Amino acid sequence: MIALLLLIVAAIIVGYYLSRSKYSEHIDDATEKVTSTSKSWTGKAGDWVQDRVGRGKDGDSFKEWATGPGAEYLPDDFKEWLTDLSDEETEEFTKALANYSKGLGYDLSALEKGVYDNNPALMQVYVEAIVVYSQEYRKARQAHLEAEEVAEQAEDESEAKASTKAAKKSTSRRKKEDVNTSEAAAA
């Protein structure tokens, strides 16, 4: 027990002298590198998780920005369309818009926080990109919905045809059975 206590005291003394010696700069540099690397990896891990899991309820904050501080930049039809979306649709659109914005070098959350307010030219280009993207998003969404409807109708028609064929087959089998029964009764 005493040996352990002496070992701890010795480690403290050696640590104190190393911190005051010429090695302290190297230790400080190493500590700084470890700290910056940890921060960098933490940020990257957070971005990775957000990309995989999603942004959470940012759809609400974008809708609030678009109908509040950003309303002056956006056309009325865009605002109407956005407010008519359900929460799920808003979240889906906002996630897609955030990914699109990221590809352009913009950050949707920065737009919502007002970071681009100080640069009108950049703001104008970004808002125009949002409007153009939303128009194409709406067209693509409508095309997907129409394609799903056509596929459902085709499936319903094929099921109806299959059930009609099955009904005809069962009717024709009954007729054959009736004919066979009547022939057997006649004989």
Sign of the torsion formed by the C-alpha atoms of 120, 121, 124 and 127: negative
Do 62 and 37 share a structural domain?
Answer: no
Do 146 and 65 share a structural domain?
Answer: yes
pLDDT digits (tens, 9 = 90+) for 34-86: 788 877 777 777 766 666 665 445 567 888 988 888 889 999 999 899 989 88
Do 137 and 83 share a structural domain?
Answer: yes
pLDDT digits (tens, 9 = 90+) for 143-163: 988 999 998 888 888 887 777
Q: How far apart are CA 12 and CA 18, in angstroms?
A: 10
State the pLDDT at residue 170.
Answer: 58
Do 81 and 43 share a structural domain?
Answer: no
Do 48 and 65 share a structural domain?
Answer: no
13 within some domain? yes
Q: What's the structural domain count of the chain?
A: 2
Range of the domain at 48: 2-53
The model scores a pTM over 0.85: no
134 within some domain? yes
Among 21, 37, 53, identify where a domain stops. Answer: 53
> Cβ distance 46 to 30 under 8 Å?
no
167 within some domain? no
103 within some domain? yes
Write the CA distances from 162 to 49, 148, 150, 151, 174, integer angstroms: 47, 21, 18, 16, 18
Phi-psi region of 166 (alpha: psi -120 to 50; beta: other; left: phi over 0): alpha
Do 123 and 48 share a structural domain?
Answer: no
Do 87 and 63 share a structural domain?
Answer: yes
